[in-house]
Structure 1
Amino acid sequence: MSGHDVVFGFGAHSGIGEAPELLRMAQQADRDGLDLFSLSDHPYLGERLDAYAALGFILGGTRHIAGLVNVTNLPTRPAPMLARTATSLSALSGGRVVLGMGAGGLWDRVADMGVPRLSPGAAVDAFEEAIVLIKKLSGGGPPVTHQGRHYQVRQIKPAPVAAPVVWTGSNGPKSLAATGRVADGWIPGHAADWLSERYRTSRPIIDEAAAAADRDPREIRTIYNFPGRITDRPLPAARDHEGRWVGGSVGQWVEELTGAALEHDASGFIFFSADHGAPDPVTLGRWAMEIVPAVREAIAKENS
């Protein structure tokens, strides 16, 4: 995925028993014109599909929609192999991959997989180094030798495929700064949105680090995980007493998302149901066929 159009997606189930439904939902979203689907990555949970196996399977059964692992459990997926996975999926799908990256959460469970535990600071260092190395191992060119603190490769030829764009799930200041230096997008944690304290305090860290690295901060997109209800009638208040979005009618959604894109530089929205789970097919259809086209039209009208 490239360009700077506002993108619209949905968060999908990844349970082993839900595989047929997962493919049907992605195919419905593909037909209905959504831009991407999102899968979580929790390899220590035996009842979950492996995120990248599921991603490849769904991409093989769709034509236009892109796939995102939101976010990759990096400590269990060494960067040189993740580079091969991402570039292979991109080649197989015609570039329909976004690489979601995180420094690693739930370290107790990660360590249970036999992965050496890293301190928070070391985990962020490894995360930044991984993004740099994945980009080095993409896009062709001469063999790469990389002698870093966390990754070492010698004379490894890059894939002749461009690296997917990288969106991170950074939370802490050090990780946010790494996003500013080396990533292409940011997904705020805990479903925080553009009116949240998390966004207000975090986004400037990304922008300052980008500018210090001679990058244009505007090139780093902000994409929101955005749960909520879609109701038949307007709700008295679309946000709760803490200011968090709860949902509302199609009109309320359209007004909110159009304002986010035009006034707050929101670059994308990944829709989840109100309980942060995958939407049901009917709700997904309302998102894709009623809300998203109206937001796209309103943005285009304002920008014309």
Structure 2
Amino acid sequence: MPERAPLFGIGGSTAVAEVTDTLRLAEQADCDGLDLFTVSDHPYFGDRLDSYAMIGVVLGRTARIAGLVSVTNLPSRPAPMLARTVTSLAALSGGRIVLGMGAGGLWDDIARLGAARLGPAAAVRALEEGITLVRALSGGGAPVTFDGEFYRVTELTPAPVPAVPVWTGSGGPKSLAVTGRVADGWMPGHAADWLSGRYRDSRPVIDEAAAAVGRDPGDIVTVYNLPGRITAEPLAATRDEEGRWLGGSARQWVDELTGAVLEHNAAGFVYFPVGDTPTAVAAGRWANEIAPAVREAVAART
């Protein structure tokens, strides 16, 4: 049984051309009681907004919702400065920030920013160092000296702000093990959900790595990115031939997500509208019909 109420979020665009609609979506999500507003991080594309600038503006225009960059492109954002960014946003927003962390994927694009190109194994080691250093530079305390393979700081004073939760988008076995050792949550890639082979194969790696260092695997949440249609009428099939979630009526969504929480320990869902329904309409159904009903159903059975 879940120990915490499931989180509900929505994903927004970082396209410069869509900034007005994205800010309106974030403000409405806040008013409607959603928990998370997320954006991706692709700083090498000139037609995209900087994700942390976007989250900063969103947090300044909202009162309740938390911001999440899903996930931070670590090679383009050195860990010591990333620590200063997230602790600053936490202080400015009353703690309404979650740190999403990724090892980096589009290396040709990342290299165009001037960042050093890393191989897969090195990128994973840098991810673990980065998470460790961000945590060390949070929560006050004595100055930090860190002499790692990728990051080195000397007598750097931590921010007097508690460390924020860290969720990864890990995919390979080594990065999944990093999640188990040092992270607080996991967001499976490629919109994989609780019935996918990716989840079944990956979550045990996280749990085993957590247990190996004395952590409780149950403390590491799984939050899903979930695209889909929200239809006026029920669909005959809510999943395709490969088992991928397509969507359905609000009731079909509620039944599916309630089962995901109660039977598969899902900790939360970030919705990405697809199809012909206007984003504002789909987001309203998500926030006002589906999320409250799932929360109520879960609370009634726990």
TM-score (norm 1): 0.97
Say how many residue pairs are matched: 300
Q: Please list, as runs of the form range in 1=range in 2, the aligned pairs for 1:104-115 lying within 5 A after superposition.
A: 104-115=104-115
SS at match of 1:288: helix
SS of equivalent to 2:269: strand
SS in 2 for 1:80: helix
Question: Which residue does 1:38 correspond to in 2?
Answer: 38
C-alpha distance in 2, partners of 1:251/1:224? 19
* Distance in 2, Cα, partners of 1:286 & 1:153: 47
Aligned partners of 2:83 and 2:137 also within 8 Å: yes
Q: Percent identity?
A: 65
In the TM superposition, residue 6 of structure 1 has moved relative to its aligned partner by 1.0
Matching residue of 1:17: 17
Counterpart amino acid of residue 173 in structure 2: P
Tell me if the contact between 2:5 and 2:295 (Cα under 8 Å) persists in the aligned partners. Answer: no
**Inter-partner Cα distance in structure 1 for 2:225 and 2:137:** 29
Partner of 2:212: 212
The 5-angstrom pairing of residues 1-304 of structure 1 reads 4-274=4-274, 280-303=279-302
Letter in 1 for 2:294: V
Partners of 2:40 and 2:70 within 8 A in 1: yes
Write out per-residue CA displacement over residues 211-266 of structure 1, whole angstroms, 9 at most, x where no aligned residue: 00100000000000000000011000100110000000001000000000000000
- Amino acid of the residue matched to residue 179 of structure 2? T
**Is the Cα contact below 8 Å between 2:75 and 2:110 reproduced in 1?**
yes
Would you say the 8 A contact 1:272–1:279 is kept in 2?
A: no
| Mapped partners of 1:5, 1:251: distance in 2 | 19
Unaligned stretches of 5+ residues in structure 2: none
Does the C-alpha gap of structure 1 residues 181 and 29 become closer, same or farther in structure 2, counting only changes over 3 Å?
A: same
The answer as to whether partners of 2:170 and 2:187 remain within 8 angstroms in 1 is: yes
SS in 2 for 1:228: strand
Q: Secondary structure at the match of 1:146?
A: strand
Task: Report deviation, 1:19.
Answer: 1.4
Q: CA shift at 1:109, angstroms?
A: 0.5
Q: Residues 173 and 64 of structure 1: is their aligned pair in 2 closer, same or farther, counting only changes over 3 Å?
A: same
- Bigger mean CA offset, 20-29 vs 291-300: 20-29
In the TM superposition, what is the alpha-carbon distance from 1:274 to its structure 2 partner? Answer: 2.7
* Uncovered stretches (5+) of structure 1, i.e. residues with no partner: none
2:301 is paired with a residue whose SS is helix
State the Cα distance separating 1:18 from its structure 2 match: 1.4
Contact 2:140–2:160 (8 Å) recurs in 1: yes
Asked if 2 retains the 8 angstrom alpha-carbon contact of 1:272 and 1:278, the reply is: no
Q: CA separation in 1, counterparts of 2:30 and 2:165?
A: 20
Change (3 A) 1:190 1:29: same
Give the TM-score of the pair, scaled to structure 2. 0.98
Give per-residue Cα distances to partners, 1:67-91, cap 9 Å, x unaligned. Answer: 0000000000000000000000000
Instruction: Quickly say closer, same or farther: Cα 1:269–1:279, change in 2 above 3 A.
Output: farther
Cα offset, 1:279, TM superposition: 6.6
